[in-house]
Amino acid sequence: MVTTPLSSQPAPTLSPLNVPQRLLLGPGPSNVNPVVLAAMNTPPLGHLDPDFLGIMDEIQTLLRYVWQTQNRLTYAISGTGTAAMEATLANAIEPGDRVVVCVKGYFGHRLVDMAQRYGAQVHAIHQTWGQPFSKESIQNAIETHRPAVLAIVHAETSTGVRQPLEGLSDLCQAHGTLLLVDTVTSMGGVPIKLDEWGIDLAYSCSQKGLACPPGASPFTLSDRAYAKLQKRSGKVPNWYLDATLLEKYWGSERVYHHTAPINMYYALREALRLLAEEGIENAWERHQQNAEYLWSQLEAIGLQMHVAKEYRLPTLTTVRIPEGIDGKAIARRLLLDYNIEVGGGLGELGGKVWRIGLMGYNSRPENVDRLLQAFKEVL
């Protein structure tokens, strides 16, 4: 009897993986410390192995340190920073909740979209791309709409703006509002003190200031946010990201929820350990010093920054593309001829700026020197 193969499609023939060595000075990911890469090559354990559960405990302790918080419910989402963003909104919002979103760039718009999908009555307030919100404009929005949640981006990746957060928690607590903050491009590189600043919900990613590959993303809830979660009238509408389920895996019960990305958690643990070894205040200072060096060198060759100095991010700088220059062509030459990646503008800043990241392991003066030499040649 002759059997017919199930498929006549030939197997693809590919060469072994060969990845170019780039200097990643765009908006993320950033280059990874070799120590972290080595950790990823460690053989995986089972996701309920007691030694792996011990690593999860260490990750929680280290996240609390880097974020400067004592929040019990602090852990890593198995996914990229966008998954952590969605986890925060899914757990914070019930259908019908009034939510004020402060939009000053691309990722503010993403917060609006996600909040609407979870049934919130969203009231967006807007600021020019490249400027922060004033405390007065936020106060006016809170007093007008009396929201359950105020959502704001601390470090807007699309514009390079650092949003001052001090004092916002007083406004929120006076009106029973939870303060939700995007720290994707600030965690590890920009001063942020969740408890001191009264931040109730926060999320981040692994591939920027933490200098780790993408895929394990920090998430935290304060006691106030957890109390709201416990009082929900229905289940969190996203099963995978439901904090009431995940706390049983990350907490003392150790109830199976999903298969964790074991090797990604190894990497995150080591990246956080290196930050703790350096000291978080020292890391913040290192990022600031190297950013100021970058700014001075860019200005020395005639380039202008997009954001006023007092509101610039030390992790992500937006540089105005000069008149008559094809920004995409310059970025492509940097990539193909010099193996250096820089980002282009997003949204309203498309074609108007380059975005240069100095984050985590990449925040070093020799990387600034290498970029500036290449910029001089291609310009």
Contacts of 67 (CB under 8 A, 6+ apart): 74, 183, 187, 192, 194, 202, 218, 220
pLDDT category of residue 378 using cuts at 50, 70 and 90: very high
Cα separation of 309 and 240, whole Å? 41
Largest Cα–Cα distance of the chain, in whole Å? Answer: 82
DSSP letters spanning 361-377: GG-SHHHHHHHHHHHHH
- Kindly report the pTM of this predicted structure: 0.95
List of residues 6+ apart from 336 with CB closer than 8 A: none
Q: Which of 128, 152, 159 is nearest to 349 (CA)?
A: 159
Give tens-digit pLDDT for 307-342: 999 999 999 999 999 999 999 999 999 999 999 999
pLDDT in tens, 134-182: 999 999 999 999 999 999 999 999 999 999 999 999 999 999 999 999 9
| pLDDT 10s digits, 304-316 | 999 999 999 999 9
| 29 prior amide bond cis, ω within 30 | yes
The whole-chain average pLDDT of the chain stands at 96
- Rounded to whole angstroms, how far apart are CA atoms 238 and 256? 17
**Quick one: which H or E segment has residue 304?**
strand 304-305
Amino acid at 184: V
- Binding-site residues sit at 355
CA-nearest of 209, 211, 212, 186 to 199 is 186
pLDDT of residue 180: 98
DSSP annotation of 235 reads -
pLDDT in tens, 24-66: 999 999 999 999 999 999 999 999 999 999 999 999 999 999 9
Q: Are strands 149-153 and 98-103 parallel, antiparallel or unpaired?
A: parallel
Name the token pair of 102. 């402060």
Which residue has 């106060």 as its token pair?
139
Res 1: pLDDT: 58
Binding-site residue numbers for substrate are: 355
Q: What is the DSSP string of 120-131?
A: -EEEEEE--TT-
